[in-house]
Amino acid sequence: MAGSNAASPKDAKKPKPMPKKQLQYFEKRLLEERKRVLKELGHHGDTFGPNGEAADGDTSAYSFHMADQGTDAMEREKAFLFASKEGRFLWHIDQALRRLYKAPETFGKCHQCGEDIAFERLDALPNARYCIACKQREEDSKKG
C-alpha cells in the first residue's frame, strides 16, 4: 500500500483547452480577421495561392485542413505571404487557426511561459502567441 497522495502539484496543471464556447468565439474572430486581411491584400484570385487557380471570390479552397501534407507548398505559401505586412498577419492568423483546430489546448496559451493569455488581449489580437508580460519583455529586449 504505497501512499498515493504524493501527486505533485505540477501534474495538476496540465494544459486544458478553453471552454468550447470561447474556442468557437475565437474561431469566428480569426475567420473574420482573415476575411478582412484577404480583402486588404486585394486578393487577386488569379495570383493567390501556389497553384494560381482562380477562386471565385472565395478562398475556401485554400484550406488549413489539407495543410498537413506538403510542407513544400506551405513554404511557398509562406514565402508568398511574407512578402507583405498583411500577408504576414494572414500567416499568423492561419497559424492560430491551425492551433485552434489541431491543438486547442495550446490555443490562447503563451508560447513562452504557458500561462493563459488574457481574454481582452486575445479578443483584440486573436492570433496572439504571447501573454502581455512576455510580449513586453520581448519588446524591451529589442529596444535594449
Pick from 108, 88, 89: nearest CA to 24:
108
CA distance 76 to 66: 15
Question: Using CB under 5 A, which of the segments 20-28, 39-47, 53-61, 131-139 binds Zn ion?
Answer: 131-139
CA distance 99 to 5: 35
Q: How many residues bind Zn ion (CB under 5 A)?
A: 5
CB closer to Zn ion, 23 vs 118: 118
Does residue 134 touch Zn ion according to CB under 5 A?
Answer: yes
Rule CB under 5 A: choose which of 113, 119, 123, 136 binds Zn ion.
113
Pick from 39, 51, 59: nearest CA to 76:
51
- Residue 56 CB burial class (10 angstroms; 0-12, 13-18, ≥19): exposed
CB closer to Zn ion, 71 vs 136: 136
CA distance 111 to 114: 6
Positions 54 through 93 that interact with Zn ion (CB under 5 A): none
CB closer to Zn ion, 97 vs 110: 110
Rule CB under 5 A: choose which of 110, 127, 128, 129 binds Zn ion.
110
CB closer to Zn ion, 79 vs 133: 133
Which stretches of the chain bind Zn ion, using CB under 5 A?
110, 112-113, 131, 134
